[in-house]
Amino acid sequence: MDLFGPPTNCSAGHSTWYFHMRRPVHGACVAIFIAQCCLKLESLELDHMCEVTEEMAVSLCQHGLKGLQRLTLTHTPATPKAILHFHSETLKLVSFSLFILLSS
């Protein structure tokens, strides 16, 4: 699974890692691992994950996504309560994108 993108802002001593889930991930374990290991994460893209629920959003924020500035959900459904939780808990969030494919 390809999880890690290039670090940026290394000159200041703080690396920001970009994660892209390029393969289906079932469950929140990988996302929570990312939140725990990357407390200064600024941008996160979750692609083809299971539905992001309020419980998952609470867990991700509790484990370290408070500094998130950009959150992108691609082909990853999210409940309205999860979106509201990210909005209220990630105070630096300036961009939230949700891309889904509507099927018949």
CATH classification for the domain delimited by 10-99, as one of 3.40.50.2000, 3.80.10.10, 3.40.50.1480, 3.40.50.300: 3.80.10.10
Name the nearest CA neighbour of 54 among 22, 33, 37, 78. Answer: 78
76 phi, psi to nearest 5 deg: -130, 105
Q: Where are the domains of the chain?
A: 10-99
Single out the residue of 27, 38, 21 nearest to residue 74, CA to CA.
21
List Cβ neighbours of 29 (8 Å cut-off, separation of 6 or more).
Answer: none
- Residue 51: DSSP 8-state: P
* Residues of the chain falling short of pLDDT 50: 1-26, 104
pLDDT for res 60: 87
pTM of the prediction? Answer: 0.69
